[in-house]
Amino acid sequence: MTPTTLNQTGTTMAGTTRLSVRNIRKSFGTHEVLRGISLDARDGDVISLLGASGSGKSTFLRCINLLEIADHGEISVDGELIQMEQRGGKNVPANRRQVDRIRSELGMVFQSFNLWSHMTILENVIEGPVHVLRRPRAECIAEAEVLLEKVGIAEKRNAYPAHLSGGQQQRAAIARSLAMKPKVMLFDEPTSALDPELVGEVLRVMRSLAEEGMTMLVVTHEMSFARNVSNRVIFMKSGEIDSDGAPDQLFGSGGSPSFRQFIGNFGG
Amino acid sequence: MALFQLIGFGPTGWGGLLLLAALMTLCVTAVALLIGAILGSLVAWAKLSGSRILRTLGGTYTTVFRGVPELLIIYLVYFGGSSAVTAIGTAMGYEGFLGLPSFAAGALAVGIISGAYQAEVFRGAYLAIPKGELEAAQAIGMNRSLRFRRIIGPQVFRFAIPGIGNVWQLSLKDSALVSVTGLADLMRTSQVAAGSTRQHFLFFIVGGCLYLILTSFSDRLFTSAEKRANRSMPTSLGQA
């Protein structure tokens, strides 16, 4: 691998490793969902994780911010290794406070948005900065308004999540994550729960984030996003990385037979 | 009219005493609800906890105090508590019977029962919080206490309001049983007035009306609290 990478605007930049995952394994009962996954994301990388359902891509994403605890493996964010220890024969975080802090550095966007339903959109966006990062409220509100403007829902700031469309909720959820100024953004099938006509507005926001150089890991079924926005595509099959490469290469002629078959199902 | 004088506020009227009694009923119920809220949230937490022992203890609490007659609990707390106090008094050299204050005993007894019902309300309210919202709180880096304070607490409160309104109604009626300890609540005072004037029909009707006023008034309060708490819900649900 080369130490430099090409970002979306076409300039070459030094590739600081933002996220490094080593040999993650995870089983649910006797079923091994992840069989040793490793991945490095450098600054500005936009990596699409593709795979059939059940291939382990969402579980892998959730292991990164410890919503699922991997049975084995190492995760570092911006060079800092998450401390784990063995307790009662299980792999558990050694330091809860470190986990909370690292999570605050990783943005997570969920398939089902998961906005806090008892708070307005603005309250959702400032919640993390004010209460987790303990920053001054006025400053957070000013920043939140800029973010809401950016994702195009400034006029909904005082509405509650239940009164917004799915696409608006997902854009609010993206703004909520961005308010934490994350080092890496994790997207877990961000458009899968949306009506088809609402997918575009969310993808546009994600695309502009990518263009600004945000480091992103995106579990998705949107082939056009994988192909046109990401600079790297990883195809997972049965808990392992089957193909890994630049989209042009994989979607061109470099993909494995299983990858060809997979994208064939999308009519691509 | 002699009857109106009896329930009026004149020197021969019972009006003042009845109003005071209604206030007493309200106070016993309010204190009981508060005790019940504390016990109920502890029991709900025990029932939701990962520990098998705590779950069993919590389950036993709700089974026992929902399954035993309220009157028995009141007798148990009042007379049982009084004998315990008397025993301590005797040990310290005091002779004779020491009674537990009937207000405290009554509020505690009704509170213990109310706690068993509130535990179920709180448990249900916790389970009604969408799991994804808790995950989002974890993912943004909230620690356990922050998650409780900012996400779980307010939502449990919101989902619990209708159920707690119900428990309040039950406790208000249970509090009538406290009259057996001699506390001058609405029940007891109606009884005394009825007995001493021999106007049983009149005073039990008046007492009943005062209970109805208390329950329907508090019902309206809970309904408006529910509406306020539900302003974030989809309109169809908010109106339901």
Per-residue pLDDT tens over the stretch B74-90: 999 988 888 888 888 88
How confident is residue B50, by pLDDT bands cut at 50, 70 and 90? Answer: confident
- Report in angstroms the alpha-carbon separations of B32 from A42, B144, B169: 60, 30, 12
What confidence score (pLDDT) does residue B113 get?
95
**Residues B52, B58, B61: CA angle, nearest 5 degrees:** 140
Three-state SS sequence of B39-77: HHHHHHHHHHCCCHHHHHHHHHHHHHHHHCCHHHHHHHH
Of the candidates B22, B53, B45, which has an alpha carbon nearest to the alpha carbon of residue B123? B45
Sign for the CA dihedral angle at A191, A194, A197, A202 comes to negative
Domain that includes residue A136, residue range: 17-265
Helix/strand/coil for A95? coil
What confidence score (pLDDT) does residue B236 get?
46
Chain A / chain B CB contacts < 8 angstroms: 77
- What percent of chain B has a predicted confidence (pLDDT) above 70? 95
Which positions in chain B have a beta carbon within 8 angstroms of at least one beta carbon in chain A?
A: 130, 132-133, 135-143, 146, 150-151, 154-155, 158, 231-235
A182 to chain B: closest CA residue: B140
- Is residue B76 located within the same domain as residue B45? yes
To the nearest whole angstrom, how far is the Cα of B11 from the nearest Cα of chain A?
54
Q: Do A108 and B136 touch (CB under 8 A)?
A: yes
What confidence score (pLDDT) does residue A36 get?
93
Q: Is residue B133 over pLDDT 50? A: yes
Residue B3 lies in a domain: no
- Is residue B79 located within the same domain as residue B147? yes
Between CA A168 and CA A170 the distance in angstroms is 5
Q: What is the DSSP string of A66-79?
A: TSS--SEEEEEETT
What confidence score (pLDDT) does residue B235 get?
56
Q: Is residue A2 over pLDDT 70? A: no
Specify the CATH number for the domain of residue B154: 1.10.3720.10
- Is residue B46 located within the same domain as residue B126? yes
A104 to chain B: closest CA residue: B141
Residue A6 lies in a domain: no
Between CA B213 and CA B211 the distance in angstroms is 5
Per-residue pLDDT tens digits for B162-201: 999 999 999 998 899 988 888 888 898 888 888 888 888 8
Residue B23 lies in a domain: no
Residue B205 lies in a domain: yes
- Is residue B166 located within the same domain as residue B63? yes
Between CA A73 and CA A25 the distance in angstroms is 6
**B6-35 mean pLDDT:** 86
Between CA A160 and CA A97 the distance in angstroms is 31
Residue B71 lies in a domain: yes
**A71-75 mean pLDDT:** 94
To the nearest whole angstrom, how far is the Cα of B146 from the nearest Cα of chain A?
8
- What percent of chain A has a predicted confidence (pLDDT) above 70? 94
Q: Is residue B239 over pLDDT 70? A: no
Per-residue pLDDT tens digits for B206-229: 899 999 999 999 999 999 998 888
The pTM score is: 0.84
Domain count for chain B, please give it. Answer: 2
Per-residue pLDDT tens digits for A15-38: 799 999 999 999 998 999 999 999
What confidence score (pLDDT) does residue B195 get?
87
Q: Is residue A268 over pLDDT 70? A: no
Give the residue with greater pLDDT, B101 vs A210: A210
Residue indicated by tokens 């806090």: A116
Residue B240 lies in a domain: no
- Is residue B60 located within the same domain as residue B126? yes
Domain that includes residue B190, residue range: 184-229
- Report in angstroms the alpha-carbon separations of B8 from A6, B4, B25, B182, B187: 90, 6, 20, 24, 18
- Is residue B106 located within the same domain as residue B209? no
Q: Is residue B1 over pLDDT 80? A: no
Residue A175 lies in a domain: yes
B228 to chain A: closest CA residue: A118
- Report in angstroms the alpha-carbon separations of A64 from A10, A106, A199, B183: 28, 9, 25, 62
How confident is residue A42, by pLDDT bands cut at 50, 70 and 90? Answer: very high
What confidence score (pLDDT) does residue A14 get?
56
**By mean pLDDT, which of A194-208, B67-81, B82-96 is the weakest?**
B82-96
Bridge partners of residue A5, in order along the sequence: A13
Of A65, A131, A160, the CB nearest to B139: A65
Q: Is residue A8 over pLDDT 50? A: no
What confidence score (pLDDT) does residue B161 get?
93
- Report in angstroms the alpha-carbon separations of A121 from A129, A208, A239, B214, B237: 14, 21, 36, 39, 19
Residue B1 lies in a domain: no
**A161-187 mean pLDDT:** 96
Specify the CATH number for the domain of residue A25: 3.40.50.300
Of the candidates B151, B113, B157, which has an alpha carbon nearest to the alpha carbon of residue B134? B151
Q: Quick one: which H or E segment has residue B145?
A: helix B144-147
Q: Do B139 and A67 touch (CB under 8 A)?
A: yes
Domain count for chain A, please give it. Answer: 1
Angle between helices B81-91 and B102-128 (to 10 degrees): 130
* Spatial contact of B131 and B181, defined as CB atoms under 8 Å apart: no
- What percent of chain B has a predicted confidence (pLDDT) above 90? 56
Residue A3 lies in a domain: no
- Is residue B60 located within the same domain as residue B113? yes
- Is residue B84 located within the same domain as residue B174? yes
Q: What is the mean pLDDT of chain B?
A: 88
- Is residue B100 located within the same domain as residue B157? yes
Residue indicated by tokens 């799991």: B131
Residue B172 lies in a domain: yes
Between CA A16 and CA A184 the distance in angstroms is 12
Residue A12 lies in a domain: no
Residue A9 lies in a domain: no
- Is residue B117 located within the same domain as residue B214? no
Q: Is residue A11 over pLDDT 80? A: no
Q: Do A114 and B135 touch (CB under 8 A)?
A: yes
How confident is residue B231, by pLDDT bands cut at 50, 70 and 90? Answer: confident
Between CA A157 and CA A40 the distance in angstroms is 36
- Is residue B142 located within the same domain as residue B191? no
Give the residue with greater pLDDT, A238 vs B15: A238
Residue B162 lies in a domain: yes
Q: What is the dihedral of CA B161, B163, B167, B168, to 10 degrees?
A: 30
Of B135, B143, B146, the CB nearest to A67: B135
- Please, which contacts does A247-251 make with residues 24 or more away whose CB atoms are closer than 8 Å? A247/A48, A251/A227
What confidence score (pLDDT) does residue A5 get?
45
- What percent of chain A has a predicted confidence (pLDDT) above 90? 84
- Is residue B139 located within the same domain as residue B195? no
Per-residue pLDDT tens digits for A104-115: 999 999 999 999
Helix/strand/coil for A221? coil
